[in-house]
């Protein structure tokens, strides 16, 4: 199928979906579905194939592809997500990302996104503040994911303020991202993160995941791994 098009139209949808099914891995579909915990049907297409499809679509009018709003399979969301993050103009990107965020139902559809915030830092920070207030856990997780781009001296305290807003968070996938984000803060801004930990209002589960992530990381030395154990929270704390 020709994937680099000047214009995608509705009549292309059926052909594109049939094209995707050519790469279906039926033997691993159940395993992939259990891993992703998605309600969407999964074709279990190998990542290099998906990336090749995205690369070819992106060389043409990929906005017209996004306008087709194909969400049938998990792989459709993956393709859409990768294409959305290629959009340079912020307001256009946000328009599609808002739609995307309303469709996804799993951690992988969030974590595959990669944002280039350069030149739009304040706009992305506003987007983070919008997303972390969502009642949808994977929208919250997406907001936290964007914050990985802000781990520096200028924005680190804003990250800590946002993390403190999750003191009552109960969703597993949101708390996991909180812990992951805090571990990256420790690796890149150790002293300020230690200061934050002394007065942190982040919930126990997320703090413990932070400690676990740091202790599993090759970027944290043995002395710091041992030191961080003092921040581990007991259930009775």
Per-residue pLDDT of the chain (237 residues; tens, 9 = 90+): 999 999 999 999 999 999 999 999 999 999 999 999 999 999 999 999 999 999 999 999 999 999 999 999 999 999 999 999 999 999 999 999 999 999 999 999 999 999 999 999 999 999 999 999 999 999 999 999 999 999 999 999 999 999 999 999 999 999 999 999 999 999 999 999 999 999 999 999 999 999 999 999 999 999 999 999 999 987 655
Per DSSP, 234 falls in state P
pLDDT for the residue numbered 189: 97
**Domain 115-237 part of CATH 1.25.10.90:** yes
The residue assigned the tokens 């503040």 is 129
Contact 146, 124 (CB under 8 A): yes
Q: Within the chain, which residue ranges are assigned CATH 1.25.10.90?
A: 115-237
pTM above 0.95, yes or no: no
Contact 125, 131 (CB under 8 A): no
d(CA 90, CA 156): 23
| Helices 47-58/74-84 angle, 10° precision | 50
d(CA 80, CA 34): 22
């Amino acid at each position: 199928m020709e994937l680099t098009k000047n214009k995608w139209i509705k009549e292309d949808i059926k052909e594109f979906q049939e094209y995707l099914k050519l790469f279906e891995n039926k033997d691993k579909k159940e395993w992939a579905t259990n891993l992703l915990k998605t309600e969407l049907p999964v074709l279990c297409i190998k990542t290099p194939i998906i990336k090749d499809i995205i690369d070819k679509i992106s060389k043409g009018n990929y906005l017209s592809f996004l306008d087709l709003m194909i969400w049938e399979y998990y792989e459709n969301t993956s393709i859409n997500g990768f294409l959305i993050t290629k959009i340079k103009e912020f307001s256009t990107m946000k328009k599609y990302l808002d739609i995307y965020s309303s469709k996804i139902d799993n951690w992988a559809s969030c974590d595959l996104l990669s944002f280039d915030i350069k030149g739009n830092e304040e706009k992305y920070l506003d987007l983070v503040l919008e997303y972390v207030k969502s009642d949808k856990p994977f929208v919250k997780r997406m907001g936290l994911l964007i914050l990985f781009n802000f781990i520096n001296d200028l924005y680190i305290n804003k990250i800590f303020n946002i993390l403190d807003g999750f003191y009552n968070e109960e969703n597993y996938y949101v708390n996991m991202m909180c812990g992951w984000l805090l571990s990256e803060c420790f690796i890149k801004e150790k002293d300020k993160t230690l200061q934050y930990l002394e007065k942190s209002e982040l919930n126990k589960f997320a703090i413990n995941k932070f400690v676990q992530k740091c202790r599993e990381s090759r970027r944290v030395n043995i002395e710091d791994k041992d030191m961080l154990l003092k921040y581990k929270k007991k259930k009775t704390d």
